[in-house]
A and B are shown apart, each in its own frame.
Chain A
Amino acid sequence: MIVELSFGIAAAVLLAYALVCAVRLGVGPTAADRAVALDTINTLVVAIMVLVGAAFDLMIIMDVALVYALLSFVGTLYIARYLEEGLR
């Protein structure tokens, strides 16, 4: 019981860090800064989903985390290709 509560607390802490990263997503001077902030938020969201799935005993959220990890990677690669063409 206490272990599940600690998973929930850890997920809440990681959610607070994701909000801190969202500040950089908003104010980032260049588009590359925003892309880096989005990549960091994606990593944190995967960890949050796994922790929430363990805390509430929901296996389906961990499946969502797997798909989210792969799709966010593809999204990051396409954003990188778009930046490479010279977005100012």
Chain B
Amino acid sequence: MNALIYAFLAVGAVFNGLGAVALLRFPDVYTRIHGATKCTTFGSIFSILAVVVYGAMRGGGDGIGMVIRALLALVFLLLTNPTGSHALARAAHRAGIKPFRAVVDRLEERK
């Protein structure tokens, strides 16, 4: 079971790092939202799943409390992260920020 915890921590660290690099390297706000949100959501899921496995392995009152809190944090992240990034992308488009090197904007034409 310890190997499962280490594997989850490693996957979480790798994907969170990819998200941070994407936020730093991508050229405009939409690609930054694309890279950062998806990678950090996936990486945080695995980081928190490691804590869930640890709490379940430990057992007892503390372990069960840890599992419940970590699962609640996981559910909150899964619900709020895509919603927030969608709102940010829509706000960026409505604020008039163009995608990098874009020539057509079909979303603007539809209005």
Q: Which A residues are within 8 Å of any B CB, using their own CB?
A: 2-3, 6-7, 10, 13-14, 17-18, 20-21, 23-24, 30-33, 35-37, 39-40, 43-44, 46-47, 50-51, 53-54, 57, 59, 62-63, 65-66, 69-70, 72-73, 76-77, 79-81, 83-84, 86-88
The main secondary structure of chain A at its interface with chain B is: helix
Residues of chain B within 8 A of A57, CB atoms compared: 62
Contact indicator B87/A62 (Cβ below 8 Å): no
Residues of chain B within 8 A of A81, CB atoms compared: 87, 91
Given known contacts A51-B50, A54-B66, A77-B84, what 13 new A-B pairs fall within 8 Å (CB)? Answer: A20-B24, A24-B32, A36-B32, A40-B36, A46-B44, A50-B48, A51-B47, A54-B54, A69-B76, A69-B80, A70-B76, A81-B91, A84-B90
The main secondary structure of chain B at its interface with chain A is: helix
**How many residues of chain B have a CB within 8 Å of chain A?**
51
Q: Which B residues are within 8 Å of any A CB, using their own CB?
A: 2, 5-6, 9, 12-13, 16-17, 19-21, 23-24, 29, 32-33, 36-37, 40-41, 43-44, 47-48, 50-51, 54-55, 62, 65-66, 69-70, 72-73, 76-77, 80-81, 83-85, 87-88, 90-92, 94-97
Q: Known contacts A50-B51, A50-B73; is A39 also within 8 Å of B84 by CB?
A: yes
